[in-house]
């Protein structure tokens, strides 16, 4: 037994991390510990291609975001979350909103959907709850989650403004799309930065 009681746990953790990195390399996805942000784009013709945020003025331009490629299958909860994000994107597009990006990630947090409604840039959190016993989907976007979303939005705002608003700082809004009993509820201006 090692002198340090935590050494065995550290060794096990190092082994688990190494195995995960090997598995991710074999499946063609980037390591989760990458320092660059990652993005999965809505409607991308080539999900394994370079990550770009679509520029309305012409061809897509590199954003400096790393590509994870096709996302691993994940847990049932993760698959349910991705399905809810896809349903939310369809719901918003049917109402005239243009989806710019899906699952933008950085160290500060993750933004489920980034969209444009007229001259307003939308940062959208998607929540789904099957059981309303704990306050429902919208109530799960608490103050700490709001703070993470705001930090992530600050991280991506300069790049999004440059690509989609000609460099001018757009008006921004934080919305929530909450699914309860499979029915979407779009809450505009759910909270303020």
> What is the band of 161 on the pLDDT scale with cuts at 50, 70, 90?
very high
Measured distance CA(142)–CA(162) in Å, rounded:
30
In this predicted structure, what is the pLDDT of residue 31?
A: 44
The secondary structure of the chain, three-state, reads: CCCCCCHHHHHHHHHHHHHHHHHHHHHCCCCCCCCCCEEECCCCCCCCCCCEECCCCCCCEECCCEECCCCCCCCHHHHHHHHHHHHHHHHHHCCCCEEEEEEEEECCEEEEEEEEECCEEEEEEEEEECCHHHCHHHHCCCHHHHHHHHHHHHHHHHHHHHHHCCCCCCEEEEEEEEEECCEEEEEEEEECC
Candidates 77, 116, 75; CA nearest to 96 is: 116
Between 151 and 140, whose confidence is greater?
Answer: 151
93: left (phi over 0), alpha (psi -120 to 50) or beta: alpha
Measured distance CA(6)–CA(165) in Å, rounded:
51
Measured distance CA(178)–CA(165) in Å, rounded:
28
Between 64 and 90, whose confidence is greater?
Answer: 90
In this predicted structure, what is the pLDDT of residue 15?
A: 79
State the pTM of this model: 0.64
- 35-191: CATH number: 3.40.1350.10
Question: What is the distance of C-alpha 121 from the center of its chain?
Answer: 15
Measured distance CA(145)–CA(149) in Å, rounded:
6
- Give the pLDDT confidence of 95-106 residue by residue, as tens digits: 999 999 999 999
> CB of 160 within 8 A of CB of 111?
no
In this predicted structure, what is the pLDDT of residue 2?
A: 52
């Amino acid at each position: 037994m090692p002198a340090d009681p935590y050494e065995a746990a550290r060794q096990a953790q190092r082994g688990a991390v190494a195995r995960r990195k090997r598995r991710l390399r074999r499946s063609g996805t980037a390591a989760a510990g990458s320092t660059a942000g990652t993005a999965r784009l809505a409607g991308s013709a080539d999900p394994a291609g370079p990550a770009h945020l679509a520029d309305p003025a012409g061809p897509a331009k590199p954003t400096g975001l790393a590509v994870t490629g096709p996302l691993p299958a994940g847990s049932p909860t993760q698959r349910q979350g991705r399905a809810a994000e896809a349903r939310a994107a369809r719901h918003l597009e049917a109402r005239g909103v243009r989806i710019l990006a899906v699952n933008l990630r950085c160290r500060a947090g993750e933004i489920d959907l980034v969209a444009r409604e007229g001259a307003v840039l939308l940062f959208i959190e998607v929540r789904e709850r099957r059981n309303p016993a704990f306050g429902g989907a919208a109530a799960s976007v608490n103050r700490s989650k709001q703070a993470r979303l705001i930090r992530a939005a600050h991280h991506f705002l300069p790049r999004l403004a440059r690509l989609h608003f000609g460099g001018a700082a757009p008006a921004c809004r934080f919305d929530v799309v909450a699914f309860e009993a499979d029915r979407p509820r779009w809450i505009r201006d759910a909270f303020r930065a």
